[in-house]
A and B are shown apart, each in its own frame.
Chain A
Amino acid sequence: KNQVEQSPQSLIILEGKNCTLQCNYTVSPFSNLRWYKQDTGRGPVSLTIMTFSENTKSNGRYTATLDADTKQSSLHITASQLSDSASYICVVSAYVGGSQGNLIFGKGTKLSVKP
């Protein structure tokens, strides 16, 4: 069964600190992995996307890694800011015939950055 598991479920850090969010998946055949940021009351916004051949991708203070062998990804946030407080969702795509439903969403990690 295709699944995406994220940890931790929630995380509280102090402003300026770094943190790492984890994503483990059992999705086959794998196409790509994306991290989304979802602010409270808003829709998700894509941060990074990685295909099978990529093992790291950065977007400003966000760096995502992918280990396709162990089926794990991480999102590292450097020098956190209050505006980083949000839910971070890991989404894995599988190649599926002609039908949609090939996006498997994790439940997200809720990050709170405190001053």
Chain B
Amino acid sequence: GAGVSQSPSNKVTEKGKDVELRCDPISGHTALYWYRQSLGQGLEFLIYFQGNSAPDKSGLPSDRFSAERTGGSVSTLTIQRTQQEDSAVYLCASSLRRDRGGAETQYFGPGTRLLVL
């Protein structure tokens, strides 16, 4: 079946604009994760969804960042009033379920490359 897809693949925006990033997880996967990967840095956890609810939003860097998931499937990550430091690759991953030990395999999408000018 299809893997995790993300859109757009690239996004260039002006400082202060809002952007929406979309993630389509693998069908049937109940857990969905958003990460940010800045140049030369490791992946940074942002938020996790189990179904439509987000039990853990601890990684969101500021209140400019929000995410939602509808129908237990598609998720959107919204960044309001973008800043240059928001420039990064935003990766989405999904897994069949969420395991407390982190043993579930997360399948990653190709990412959205965001550049804020």
Contact = CB atoms under 8 A, between A and B. Distances in A.
B56 A99 contact: yes
Chain A CB within 10 Å — which of B41, B91, B108, B110 has the most? Answer: B108
A105 B43 contact: yes
A107 B58 contact: no
B33 interface: yes
Given A89-B42, A98-B55, A106-B42, A43 B105 contact: no
A95 interface: yes
Interface in A78-105: 89, 93-103, 105
Given A101-B45, A107-B41, A46 B106 contact: yes
Interface residues of B, number: 27
B25 interface: no
A45 B43 contact: no
Contacts, number: 68
B8 to A, nearest CB: 14
Interface residues of A, number: 27
B110 A42 contact: yes
A41 B91 CA distance: 11
A93 B4 contact: no
Contacts of A31: 101-103
B58 A101 contact: yes
Interface of B: 4, 33, 40-45, 48, 55-56, 58-59, 91, 93, 98, 100-103, 105-111
14 contacts: A32-B101, A43-B4, A46-B106, A49-B103, A93-B102, A95-B100, A98-B100, A99-B56, A100-B45, A101-B56, A101-B59, A105-B42, A105-B43, A107-B41
